[in-house]
Amino acid sequence: MKTRKLGNLTVSAMGLGCMGMSEFYGQGDDAESIATVHRALELGITLLDTADAYGPHTNEMLVGRAIAGKRDKFIVATKCGIVRDPNDPMRRGIDGTPEYIKKSCDDSLRRLGIDVIDLYQLHRVDPKTPIEESVGAMADLVKAGKVRAIGLSEASSETLRRAHAIHPLASVQSEYSLWSRDPEDSVLATCRELGIGFLAYSPLGRGFLTGQIRRFEDLAVDDYRRNSPRFQGDNFQKNLDLVQTIASLAAEKNTTTSRLALAWVMAQGDFIVPIPGTKRRKYLEDNAGADDLVLTHDDLARLDAALPKGVASGERYNEVMMKTIQ
């Protein structure tokens, strides 16, 4: 697989999001998840993205087991800042204080079983803590040798500039796909200007853009997507119609819907690295094929025309979670 740059880090042109291996998308299978991580390495995918909030905590431990004995072959990215109530995991807060960031880093290192985190990211910007203080703490972790590079998640262009002035950012992570194009407003341009890499999470629309989801009822009762506005009510069918458009274009190119959607994200800039999540090898192998898919100017124009910015029906998060996004 080709490589791209996130600051001073060289990573595979596509990463692997590990969140769904532990929760949110139905029952997990640790053995298959670990096999998926190992298969990713065989395919040339070296970037693994996790967070202390996933599980909570259990996803980092799972990734730690998966990379044991292979640590030097992976770029490990994790995040801190979202605080979940151990008695009620659905309740969450945001903490970007220096003390919390530094303690979280030590905890993540222990759970992952590693000596240094390649990319340490602030999961959400804490509105109560100046970003300069949060990034200053992360810079201290770099100086201490606990972290190689730092990044933010779901941050505005203004916040990126303020943070980057304190310590160079390797990346910003935000949702970006054919049906979530908000970063095109200003964040992508700021990344280009400042030399910041961009990690595109949910590049397959939380699985919707794969064409595999046909009915709301097919989602497991504990599947997070049942609470997502884009999967509910009339929005579901309207968004399903959009997927049919992608599927038709994919058929013309003799490829899969997933590969086409991922190739579109990758074609938006060589500083963009999609991190589609999966816990199964068969989906990983399909996704990896996007690296070899070449889209022409006509292909890109047709996709832009069929799925312009704002075309998706429904917000990408529920009302409570949308408030955590700048």
H or E stretch at 153: strand 147-153
Catalytic residue among 25, 54, 176, 201: 54
- How would you label 285-304 residue by residue, b for 16+ Cβ within 10 Å and e otherwise? ebbbebbebebeeebeebbe
Exposed/middle/buried for 91, CB within 10 Å: 0-12, 13-18, 19+?
exposed
Which of these, 134, 140, 166, 139, lies nearest to 153 by C-alpha position? 134
As a whole number of angstroms, the distance between CA 142 and CA 169 comes to 12
Q: Is 307 left (phi over 0), alpha (psi -120 to 50) or beta?
A: beta
Is 54 assigned a catalytic role? yes
Measured in whole angstroms, how far is the alpha carbon of residue 245 from the centre of its chain? 24
Asked if 115 contacts 106 with a C-beta cutoff of 8 angstroms, the reply is: no
Residue appearing with tokens 């049942």? 226
Q: Which residues are catalytically annotated?
A: 54
